[in-house]
Amino acid sequence: MKLRQFVFITTLLAAAWIAGSGPRPTGPAPAETEPTNAEPVGTIEVVDLNGLPDVAFGDTEEELARRGVLRPEVDTCGPLLTGHERASPIFIDDRLVLIWAGEPMATPEGVTIGTPLPEARARYPKAKRLEAPQGTYRFDGLLARRGDRAYLFLHDGRQVQKVIAGYAHWARRLFDEGHGPC
């Protein structure tokens, strides 16, 4: 395995771990109350094919750090974006190429983690269906491409489980080579 492939796979694993990390509630929420981890209406952050409001695909790690948007964290697998705690950046050759969008982030078309698969397909009718290799524990995907950018929706056949935005080449490569926890 070449060093570049190793670094790429390690970065993907780190991003997957970050996207899936965080405290998990223990036990069900009482039926009469709203869950404690519910976000107030209007706080859904949008990730589009350019990135986030102050973070663009192609930005360098150095540039984002200089602007105070990127901060290293010792207890995570990689750097975090200040003000975008639900987003996990993936850098290749010092450039931002992908963002794993955690809950409650959504695309401009409203697709987020938990969106029913038929709804995601309706909102992105030209999305290419991607099948995970047989015998793996990987999700199938939908790749909604526009020019050199794309959304990759990983799903379990019923609903979207992961939302990834960025350069189409890197999104497809992430799907083809797999992902997993840090």
Mean pLDDT across the chain: 81
pLDDT band per the 50, 70, 90 thresholds, residue 137: confident
Residue of 75 and 177 predicted with greater confidence: 177
Residue of 27 and 128 predicted with greater confidence: 128
Using the predicted structure, report yes or no on whether residue 159 has a pLDDT greater than 80. Answer: yes
**Which residues are CB-contacts of 91 (< 8 A; sequence separation ≥ 6)?**
11, 61, 78, 79, 97
CA–CA separation, 169 and 182 (whole Å) = 22
| Whether 148 contacts 167, CB under 8 Å | yes
Tens digits of residue pLDDT in 30-65? 443 333 334 444 578 999 999 999 999 999 999 999
Give the rounded distance of the alpha carbon of 27 from its chain centre: 26
Q: What is the bridge-based pairing of β-strands 80-81 and 70-71?
A: antiparallel
pLDDT number for residue 109: 97
Query: What pTM does this model have?
Result: 0.76
pLDDT number for residue 71: 83
pLDDT number for residue 75: 60
**Which residues are CB-contacts of 88 (< 8 A; sequence separation ≥ 6)?**
15, 18, 19, 78, 80, 99, 100, 102
